[in-house]
């Protein structure tokens, strides 16, 4: 997610240079992980560190991160396998891979599996930071055409929505609200954000119209399936989450 929403009103402003980036760092070398964690935290970012591949995959599966920094040689599950399973599960969080090896084959492998960038150890923290910034800038553009949250799929080009194998018919306005929520899955979206994105810019009615449409959506995408995908964040707005 992340950079696609730079400038949006829901952003948290960090102390150093603006955007707080939520980084997942999967690195088993504890001193290196700690060095990177401290550096990123010092820049005002939020860093979630795990030390093995399985924990990395579990953390990435929450889709709560803007970027994943993924070591290749990891206990449990290698960085390659973590990346492969992430992409197979349609988790499109940008991934920067780290490795001690500097063979071009490794690099090709990483890119084939869907890595977004690659950094050879040892690296300087300044270079890592620059590469992360570049990665987040680029990732705003490269989105999968079909949006997925759990078993819910929305295809913006074909204007179709499915829950598993069942097609769901939505009105254009309902579709717009759902698309906006899914594009920001895992993030809190305010009613005003939704109103601006989906209604005419000159719409002067109540923001509560958004509540009405979220209600319609819940009756179509969740209630019949026993799921609960649109979470109400009291006093703020909504958040699209993976149903449990």
In the complex, the residues that contact Ca ion under the rule CB under 5 A are 28, 71, 73
Least distance CB 47 / Ca ion (angstroms): 17
Q: Which is nearer to Ca ion, 71 or 109 (by Cβ)?
A: 71
Least distance CB 27 / Ca ion (angstroms): 6
Q: Which is nearer to Ca ion, 28 or 106 (by Cβ)?
A: 28
Q: Which residue is nearest to Ca ion (CB)?
A: 73
Q: Which is nearer to Ca ion, 83 or 168 (by Cβ)?
A: 83
Q: How many CB atoms are located within 10 Å of the residue 148 CB?
A: 18
Least distance CB 38 / Ca ion (angstroms): 18
Least distance CB 85 / Ca ion (angstroms): 18
| Torsion, Cα of 20, 26, 27, 31 (10° steps) | 40
Q: How many CB atoms are located within 10 Å of the residue 171 CB?
A: 11
Q: Which is nearer to Ca ion, 71 or 179 (by Cβ)?
A: 71
Q: How many CB atoms are located within 10 Å of the residue 228 CB?
A: 12
Residues 6+ apart with CB under 8 A from 115: 70, 83, 95, 96, 97
């Amino acid at each position: 997610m992340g950079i696609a929403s730079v400038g949006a009103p829901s952003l948290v402003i960090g102390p150093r240079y603006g955007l707080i980036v939520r980084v997942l760092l999967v690195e088993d070398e504890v001193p290196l992980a700690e060095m990177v964690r401290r550096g990123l935290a010092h820049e005002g970012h939020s860093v979630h560190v795990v030390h093995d591949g399985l924990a990395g995959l579990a953390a990435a599966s929450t889709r709560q991160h803007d970027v994943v920094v993924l070591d290749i040689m990891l206990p449990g599950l290698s960085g390659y396998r973590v990346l492969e399973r992430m992409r197979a599960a349609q988790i499109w969080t940008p991934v920067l891979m780290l490795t001690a090896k500097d063979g071009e084959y490794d690099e090709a492998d990483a890119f084939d599996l869907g890595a977004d960038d690659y950094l050879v150890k040892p690296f300087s923290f300044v270079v890592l930071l620059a590469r992360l910034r570049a990665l987040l800038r680029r990732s705003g553009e490269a989105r999968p055409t079909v949006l997925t949250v759990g078993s819910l799929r929305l295809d913006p080009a074909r204007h179709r929505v499915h829950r598993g194998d069942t097609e769901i018919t939505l009105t254009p306005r309902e579709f717009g609200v759902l698309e906006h929520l899914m594009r920001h899955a895992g993030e809190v979206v305010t009613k005003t954000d939704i109103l601006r994105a989906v209604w005419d810019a000159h719409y002067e009615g109540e923001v509560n119209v958004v509540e009405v449409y979220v209600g319609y959506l819940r009756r179509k995408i969740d209630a019949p399936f026993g799921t609960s995908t649109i979470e109400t964040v009291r006093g703020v707005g909504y958040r699209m989450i993976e149903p449990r």
